[in-house]
Amino acid sequence: MLHEHHPLIGREIAVRKVTPLNIRAVADGARFVLRIDPAQAAQAAKAFGSPLPGKIGDVTVSKGRLAVRLGPDEWHLVVPLTEQEAIETAFAKLYATVPHSLVDVSHREIGIAVEGVAAMLALRSAIAFDIGGMPVGTGCRTIFDKAQIILVREAEDRFRIEVWRSFADHVWGILDAASREIALGI
């Protein structure tokens, strides 16, 4: 196989102060957009091999698989690369009885982890909604400055951004600028 080009892999923003902050690209996974009639989501969960979140905005994490329900008929799935083929095969089998759409978007997105006491402060530089009111274990599609992202709150102080490849530099640049203020405590 040829060499892959990752826009952000190896780059890191780190603030080691009173309010620590660490921002880095997360390791690649396989990603899918699953779109299916919500009435048949249970069958999709079977094919997926892990539960799918039942409420819009909910997130499930199990066996290294992340699923976010973004809309009535839309789930964003991130799984270990090794499981990509098996999941594709399972869904292909399901299609005969339960039509749906499973589309590979592994290369469309870049994952960015934003972690630390100052994580929320960094995100507030460019996200308009009240992140403080976002429960742990939820996610949503939103706007970061001028870029569309998916934001998942994985823990009190840990967030994951999923952003389209060509918008990743912009998001990174804003986070970098915001992290300088945090480092200065200003």
Partner 1 sequence: MTSYRIPEKGRVNQGKPVRFTFNGASYVGFEGDTLASALLANGVHLIGRSFKYHRPRGFLSAGSEEPNALVGTDRGPGRFEPNTRATVLEVFDGLNTTSQNHWPSLKRDIGAVNDALYMLFSAGFYYKTFMWPKSFWNKVYEPIIRGAAGLGKSPTTPDPDTYASRFAHCDVLVVGSGPAGLAAALDAGKSGAKVILVDEQAELGGSLLSETDAGINGQSGWQWLEEARSALAAMNNVTVLTRTTAIGYYHQNLVGLCQRLTDHLPNPPADAPRERLWKVRAHQVVLAQGSIEKPLVFEGNDRPGVMLAGSARSYLNRYGVKVGNRPVIVTSHDSAWLAAFDLAEAGVKVAAIIDIRPNVSGHLMESAAALGVEVLSGWTVTGTSGRLRVASVRANPVSRSGVVGSARTIACDALLMSGGWTPSIHLFSHTKGKLDWNEEGQMFLPGEATEESRCAGAGNGVFSLAAALAEGAAAGAAAALDAGFAAKAASYRVDGELVLTGANNRELPTDRNTSKAKAFVDFQNDVTAKDIRLAVREGFKSIEHIKRYTTTGMATDQGKTSNINGLAIASDAVKRPAPAVGLTTFRPPYTPTTFGAFAGYNRGELFEVTRKTPIDGWAEQNGAEFEPVSLWRRAWYFPKKGETMHAAVARECKSVRESLGMFDASTLGKIEIVGPDAAEFMNRMYTNSWTKLAPGRLRYGLMLGEDGFIRDDGVIGRLTTDRFHVTTTTGGAARVLGMMEDYLQTEWPDLKVWLTSTTEQWAVIALNGPNARKLIEPLVEGIDLSDEAFPHMSVAEGKICGVPTRLFRVSFTGELGYEINVPARYGRAVWEELYRAGQQHGITPYGTETMHVLRAEKGYIIVGQDTDGTVTPDDAGLGWAIGKAKPDFVGKRSLTRPDMQKADRKQLVGLLTTDPNTVLEEGAQIVLDPSQTLPMKMVGHVTSSYWSAALGRSIAMAVIEGGKAREGETIHVPTPGRTHTAKVVGTVFFDPENKRLSA
Q: Which residues make up the interface to partner 1 (CB under 8 A)? A: 1-6, 28, 33, 35-37, 73, 95, 99-109, 121, 124-130, 132-133, 145-147, 164-167, 169-170, 173-174, 177-178, 180-181, 184, 186
Phi, psi for 143 (deg, rounded to 5): -115, 130
**Between residues 35 and 46, which has the closer beta carbon with respect to partner 1?**
35
**Between residues 109 and 154, which has the closer beta carbon with respect to partner 1?**
109
Least distance CB 119 / partner 1 (angstroms): 14
Helices (H), the chain: 41-48, 84-95, 119-123, 168-184
Report, in angstroms and rounded to the nearest whole number, the Rg of the chain calculated over CA atoms.
17
**Between residues 62 and 143, which has the closer beta carbon with respect to partner 1?**
143
**Between residues 62 and 71, which has the closer beta carbon with respect to partner 1?**
71
3-state secondary structure of 39: helix
Least distance CB 77 / partner 1 (angstroms): 12
Least distance CB 115 / partner 1 (angstroms): 19
Least distance CB 32 / partner 1 (angstroms): 9
Distance separating alpha carbons of residues 11 and 47, to the nearest angstrom: 35
Task: For residue 23, give the nearest of 146, 136, 160, 132 by alpha carbon.
Answer: 160
* Number of neighbours of residue 24 by Cβ within 10 angstroms: 17
**Between residues 37 and 62, which has the closer beta carbon with respect to partner 1?**
37
Distance separating alpha carbons of residues 28 and 164, to the nearest angstrom: 13
Least distance CB 64 / partner 1 (angstroms): 20
